[in-house]
């Protein structure tokens, strides 16, 4: 099949490469001419208009841009360039309510819209992409060859019992989650869970690092090799996962992680997941705490913490102790 891709960053370009490896034809556009040129084997485009002109009907354009205005503008422009029967795919991390709005607007012109939550990151070219798809069934079915080529496939993972009558696509690594917005909603929750998992690993490894502290009784101090722990947990442990695989890789490169500041960004999906939990009155303490931990990581000392010290001084005359400011524990230096 033929597919247009807008946004040839790491994921967009690798999606194009994986599809071309499977025999599909790619027309690519990026604001950077160098990125277009770097996607060898694809037909390059110089503008959105040029990209659309090089696609055969029914046209399909995969938008792989950061969530927000740049994606909004690209889809609005495509809505004026495409025709009835064509389809726009948003493969980024868009807020699912925006998908619902866009799908309604494009449907009035007969243009299809699919929201595809895409997980796999920079490893997707080799491993494949796990995809959660929202939109009309007819468009999902028409574009199945694209999704099948991008998906990781069943691989060697044993099949789950009692799923003989279930959708076989999910065992290949992609699913039709429901109408417009459902794909990005499922991916949003996926990323919220990812926040919680990552935070749990981070806290656990920090506890193990801290066991060597001279603040502890000498016979209860342990010098734990956390890189070795990460490696051994990959084999047979109930906490084994791909995230743990990546943790092991990172610690093998740099056990003390001195090159990192510890200031952790959040890209939006964690906030949206917590907001969805509030809307649904669902308790989500782990995901919420993981999101707040990222906020806290970006603040040296908050106003709230200063106010706590001020209150302690006022009601009890407590004076702040003089504690050297360290980015990490002394034993990590």
The whole-angstrom separation of Cα 189 and Cα 272 is 8
Give yes or no: 56 in active site: no
Structure tokens at 333: 């230096």
Beta carbons of 173 and 151 less than 8 angstroms apart: yes
Q: In what order do the strands lie in the sheet with 174-178?
A: 43-44, 25-29, 2-6, 60-63, 87-90, 112-119, 130-134, 174-178
The whole-angstrom separation of Cα 192 and Cα 269 is 6
The whole-angstrom separation of Cα 87 and Cα 135 is 10
Using alpha carbons only, give the angle 126, 132, 135 rounded to the nearest 5 degrees.
130
Q: Which of 49, 69, 73 is nearest to 59 (CA)?
A: 49
Catalytic residue among 54, 72, 148, 194: 194
Give yes or no: 313 in active site: no
Q: Which of 267, 266, 270, 225 is nearest to 248 (CA)?
A: 225
Per-position DSSP letters for 285-333, written without gaps between them: HHHHHHHHHHHHHT-SS-HHHHHHHHHHHHHH-PPPP-----SS-GGG-
Instruction: Label the pairing between strands 87-90 and 60-63.
Output: parallel
Residues that are catalytic: 187, 194
């Amino acid at each position: 099949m033929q597919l247009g891709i807008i946004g040839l960053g790491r994921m967009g370009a690798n999606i194009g490469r994986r599809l071309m490896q499977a025999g599909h034809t790619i027309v690519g556009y990026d604001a950077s001419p160098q990125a277009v040129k770097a996607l060898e084997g694809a037909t390059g485009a110089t503008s959105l208009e040029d990209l659309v002109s090089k696609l055969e009907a029914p046209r399909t354009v995969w938008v792989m841009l950061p969530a927000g205005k740049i994606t909004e503008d690209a889809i609005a422009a495509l809505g004026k360039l495409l025709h009835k029967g064509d389809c726009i795919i948003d493969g980024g991390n868009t807020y699912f309510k925006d998908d619902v709005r866009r799908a309604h607007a494009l449907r009035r012109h007969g243009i299809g819209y699919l929201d595809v939550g895409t997980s796999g990151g920079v490893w997707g070219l080799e491993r494949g992409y796990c995809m959660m798809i929202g939109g009309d069934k007819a468009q999902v079915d028409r574009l199945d060859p694209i999704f099948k080529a991008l998906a990781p496939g069943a691989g060697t993972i044993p099949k789950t019992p009692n799923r003989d009558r279930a959708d076989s696509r999910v065992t290949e690594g992609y699913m039709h989650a429901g109408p417009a917005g459902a794909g990005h909603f499922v991916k949003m929750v996926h990323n919220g869970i990812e926040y919680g998992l990552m935070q749990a690993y981070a806290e656990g490894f920090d506890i193990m690092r801290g066991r060597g502290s001279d603040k502890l009784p000498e016979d209860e101090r342990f010098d734990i090799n956390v890189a070795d722990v990460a490696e051994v947990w990959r084999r047979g442990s109930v906490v084994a996962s791909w995230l743990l695989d990546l943790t092991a890789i990172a610690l093998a490169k740099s056990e003390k992680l001195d090159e990192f500041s510890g200031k952790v960004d959040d890209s939006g999906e964690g906030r949206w997941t917590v907001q969805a939990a509030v809307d649904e009155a669902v308790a989500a303490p782990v995901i919420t705490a993981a999101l707040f931990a990222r906020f806290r990581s970006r603040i040296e000392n908050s106003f709230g913490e200063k106010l706590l010290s001020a209150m302690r001084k006022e009601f009890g005359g407590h004076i702040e102790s003089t504690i050297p400011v360290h980015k990490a524990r002394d034993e990590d230096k």
